[in-house]
Structures are given as structure tokens and as C-alpha cells.
Chains A and B, each alone.
Chain A
């Protein structure tokens, strides 16, 4: 057996759902006290548990909500559908929110949204620091340059589109309180970092549109246009921009 064949067979056995005794015998040595299939089974057990542990670290609220056994079953099913594709095990959970949308045993319909929020928090934690710009940088533009100026947002900022309002659910799980029932309805949350603390907050539909425009690199005129339907459009836009600057979401004003 070549090295490539050896690795292909071992990988298939140790990451598959069952280990065939005959195939195991063909690959590795048995001893009276420990047959080949059991030996490979040690690796299979560690493979699954390590991946589930990695998910638990990145999705602590989802794990708390589901409980140990249901979370393990979910994690192992997810690992079969989306095997890790990066050297950093911290990237393994990036498809979990999408996977949960179609996961048959999910129970609550808001698990995918909770996972999306937790994943954004995990990503924000590891992003590079940048800026921040302040209100004075916006003021320095003057009326002439304002509409065409662009905001460079910090790498640690995320906008999460949600189909359920999971911010109260996250809070209840954080506090160890009983989880509230799912709240259907489109909403959005922003996730960011202050120092090394990751924060998130629900944001309204206009601010979410404005933030999306800013993340796309649109000019300030376009960003403020998100509030155009409001009577107090200018005040609302400036209030939002001011809070972005105060929270350190803006690295630079160009």
C-alpha cells in the first residue's frame, strides 16, 4: 500500500460512521488485547470529540441551549457535512449557522440565528485592531466633501442579518435565565469589539441598511440615504454616524 493509499483508507475509517473490522485489519496490526478496529476507533473518538469541543468554544450559548447530548449529535452531523478545511480549528464553525437552517432535528427555529450571532462574535474577537476615527474626523470634512467621503470600518465590525430576534435569547443564556420562546421577524444586530471585549446590539432596519452600505464602501451620501424615508432623516443619519464613531466602528474617514 502506498503512503497515499494508507492515508486515504485511514482517513475514511477514522472519520466515517463505522469502522469495518476487515478493512481495519488490512491497514493496521492487531494485538490480542487491542484489535485493529478498536485501535482506529481511538482516533475516531478523538476526531469527533475535538471538533465538537471546538464548536462548543465558539458557540457556548447554542451549546447551553441544546444541552450536552443534542449539541454533540449536532456537532458530529455538522462535521460529516462540513469537515474542517483550514489548519486553524477556530475556522471549523463557519458554516454552522447555514447548516442549522436545514438541520432536521433543530427543534427551535431560531438556532441558526443564534449561531450566526455567536460566529460573528467569535470572528470579531480575532480581528486586527484599527483606528478608531472620532467625531472630529467627520466634522473636518465640511459640507463640501461630506457626501462623497467614505468610511473605512474596523475589521472587527460585523452586521448580522437575523430571521429571529435572538439578542434577548443570547442575554437570557448569558444570565442563566430561562430562554425566551423564538421571536420570528427580520432584524439585524451589529457585533464589534471594545478593547478585547466583544459586544453586540440589535439595530433598526434603516441603520442596518446604512451599515451595509458603509461595509460595501459606499460614499456617505449613499449611507445617509438609508434614512431618507424618515421625517427626521438628517438627524437620524447623524445620530447613527455619531454612535458608530463613538463605539469605535470607524477606522478612518476618507
Chain B
């Protein structure tokens, strides 16, 4: 059981407001991430845009509705649609979130946190295996921001994430902003989180901004990456080495060139952070 990381550089999320830009030429980044659910329809402009972008740069499919942690059955229709999209787009990889978002057949379209228990761990790991068999590939699971911790947790979040990845033999999409947001909201040390994540399974990093609501941090993805997230990114890189990194910006979305500049900053920080380590190699 192993996970093979592929470094495809530094990318940004493909959003509707940038469609005109990317139709006019190749996006000014190494790769883009597309929210899978926005492209599951049989046609229309979004799918046509994605197919055009795919001819220019690698595409990663990032889902929000797999609901891997739900006690509802996995949606076979969703998996069929996702598999069809993957055949069409040939993504570099497919990711979703370590969370649940449906109950009793009702979708909440949010990323709700799991209780970090042995029962939840076995449940999720088993479902990840089934999804990977269905898609014929390993997937990556992302840690989510959270505002609640369930009573009687049996392990810290990072241990839960690490064990899911090991037991299901999947990759990790490490959202550095989400680590910071949850650390503040639950009072844990973000560096302890990073220390607990198995470096060899981290296949991608997310960077984003958040809002400080005084008594808690809210994961809003509506601002530039703040200094604290860049600092934690450096700490992450020092632990896991070079990783494909994406800047997420989902609300009050700026121009593609500004997003690309944030992505270029991530590339520069990676080079700067890892340069001494590279020099030390024989």
C-alpha cells in the first residue's frame, strides 16, 4: 500500500468569472482545479470551457458532494457521473473532503465534520476503498475547517486523517488554512497537526483566506492568503517536501492575474523554503 505523489506545480481554482479569460488563452498557472459537481451536466458552457482548459493545462477534479463520511449509502448515480466526467477530462487526480454532507437522502451542500471515533474511521476507510475501486484510482481527501468538536473524541483530528489515509490507502489534500482555522476554533497547536500527518501521503496542498469573527475563525475563502497561512505553509513544506499547491478563492473572487500572482507566490515560497534542503542533498 503506497501513495505516489505527483508534483504538477502551482495552480488556482477554475471559477465561472474567469471563463472568458481562459477561453482567450491558456490560464497563466501550471494547472487548475475544477469543482466536480459544476461539470456533471451533460453539456453547457461550463463543460465546454473545462474541456478547452484541459487542452491547455492539467486539471484536478475536486468534489464537494461525495459525502464520504455519511451513514447514507454512497450515491451510485454520483459515482457514475463522476466516473464519466473523469473519462472525459482525464484529471491529474480526483479529490473530495473528509466530512459528511448528506443525511436521510438530503444533501446539505456543506462540509460537516465527523466525530473522530473508531467507528467513523472504519466507516470512512471502507467507503474510500469502494470509491477507489469504482473510479479505478486513488483519491485524495481534504481536511475541513470545523466549528464543532463532538463529545468523547477517541483521537485527535490529525490521527483520524492519517489513519483513514493509511487504512483506505488514499492520498491527503492538506488544506493549510483549514488546519489553522480549526486549530484556533478548537484550541490545538497547528504544528502538532502537521507533525501528525503522514508526509508521504500528502498529494496536494490548499491555501486560502479566512475571516476573523472575533470568537472564532470562519473559513470564507474570500480574501488573499494571510501571513499566518503562508507561515504554516512553510512549516508544511519543511515537513512534507515539494507538493502541488493550489490557491482557493471562492467568494469576492479577484481577477485571474491576481490569483495567478498568489499562486506564483506559493511557488516562490516553496523554492525558498526547500532550497537549503536541496543543497544539502549529496
Residues of A within 8 A of B (CB): 1-4, 6-8, 10-11, 14-15, 26-29, 31, 33-34, 36, 39-40, 42-43, 46-47, 50-51, 54, 83-90, 92, 125-129, 155-156, 196
Which residues between 60 and 92 of chain B lie within 8 Å of chain A, taking CB atoms? 65-67, 70-71, 75, 77-78
- Residues of B contacting A47 in the complex (Cβ-Cβ under 8 angstroms): 108-110
Contact call B106/A85, Cβ cutoff below 8 A:
yes
Given contacts A86-B107, A88-B65, A128-B43, contact A33 B151 (CB under 8 A): no
A83 contacts B106, C-beta separation under 8 Å? yes
Mark out the residues of chain B between 151 and 180 whose CB falls within 8 Å of any chain A CB in the assembled complex.
151
> B57 at the A/B interface (Cβ < 8 Å)?
no
Of B43, B109, B119, which contacts A156 at CB under 8 A?
Answer: B43
Contact B107 A85 (CB under 8 A): yes
Contact of B40 among A11, A88, A129 (CB under 8 A): A88
Contact call B148/A40, Cβ cutoff below 8 A: yes
- Name B108's contact: one of A1, A40, A84 (CB within 8 Å): A84
- CB-CB < 8 A to A14: which residues of B? 108, 112
Type the 1/0 row for B115-149, where 1 means its CB is closer than 8 Å to any CB of A: 10101100100000000000000000000000111
Given contacts A2-B119, A3-B119, A7-B71, contact A84 B44 (CB under 8 A): no
CA distance A6 to B151 in the complex (A): 10
* Contact, CB under 8 Å: A3 / B117: yes
Choose among A7, A28, A84 the residue with the greatest number of B CB atoms under 10 Å from its CB. A7
Contact between chains at A11 and B148 (CB < 8 Å)? no
On whether A27 and B42 interact (CB within 8 A), knowing A50-B109, A87-B107, the answer reads: no
A40-B148, A47-B110 are known; give 4 further A-B pairs, CB within 8 A: A1-B115, A2-B119, A11-B108, A87-B40
CB distance from B43 to the nearest CB of A (A): 4
State whether B147 touches A155 (Cβ < 8 A): no
Residues of B within 8 A of A (CB): 37-38, 40-46, 48, 65-67, 70-71, 75, 77-78, 100, 102-110, 112, 114-115, 117, 119-120, 123, 147-151, 185, 187, 215-216, 218
Q: Please give me the 5 A-B residue pairs with the lowest Cβ-Cβ distance, nearest first.
A: A87-B65, A126-B41, A128-B43, A128-B42, A196-B45
Q: A4-B71, A11-B104 are in contact. Are A28 and B151 (CB under 8 A)?
A: yes
Are the CB atoms of A127 and B108 closer together than 8 Å? no
- Complex interface: chain A residues within 8 A of B78 (CB): 87
Give every chain A residue within 8 A of B40 (Cβ-Cβ). 87-88
Selected from B44, B106, B149, B215, the residue in CB contact (under 8 A) with A127 is B44
> B43–A126 contact, CB under 8 A?
yes
Q: Which residues of A contact B215 (CB under 8 A)?
A: 33-34
Closest Cβ of chain A to B15, distance in Å, is: 13
Cβ B110 vs Cβ A43 within 8 A = yes
Q: Contacts A8-B103, A88-B65, A127-B44 given; indicate if A43 touches B112 (C-beta within 8 A).
A: yes
Taking the nearest CB of chain B, how far is it from the CB of A29, in angstroms? 5
CB of A72 to closest CB in B, whole Å: 16
8 residue pairs bridging A and B, Cβ less than 8 Å apart: A15-B106, A28-B150, A34-B215, A42-B218, A43-B147, A85-B105, A125-B44, A128-B42
Distance between Cα atoms of A11 and B44 in the complex (Å) = 33
Q: How far is the CB of A239 from chain B (nearest CB, A)?
A: 29
B216 A42 Cβ-Cβ under 8 A: yes
Contact B41 A28 (CB under 8 A): no
Q: How far is the CA of A222 from the CA of B119 in the complex (A)?
A: 61
With A39-B148, A125-B45 as known contacts, state yes or no: A87 contacts B37, CB within 8 Å.
yes
B67 nearest CB neighbor, chain A only: A87
State whether B107 touches A89 (Cβ < 8 A).
Answer: yes
Query: Are A155 and B109 also in contact (CB < 8 A) when A3-B119, A31-B187 are?
Result: no
What residues of chain B lie closer than 8 Å to A128, measured between beta carbons? 42-43
* Distance (whole angstroms) from the CB of A15 to the closest CB of chain B: 7
**Nearest CB on B from A57, distance (A):** 10
- Given A8-B103, A42-B218, A196-B44, A87 contacting B75 (CB threshold 8 A): yes
Q: How far is the CA of A42 from the CA of B108 in the complex (A)?
A: 14
Identify the closest chain B residue to A123 (Cβ): B41
Chain B hits for A26, CB < 8 A:
151
Measured CB to CB, the closest approach of chain B to A186, in angstroms, equals 30
Q: Say whether A11 contacts B103, CB under 8 Å.
A: yes
Given A34-B216, A46-B110, verify A89-B37 contact (CB < 8 Å). Answer: yes
Q: Which B residues are in CB contact (< 8 Å) with A129?
A: 43
Contacts of A39 in B (CB 8 A): 147-148
Give CA–CA (A69, B42) in the complex, Å: 34
Residues of B within 8 A of A89 (CB): 37, 107, 109
Residues of A within 8 A of B119 (CB): 2-3
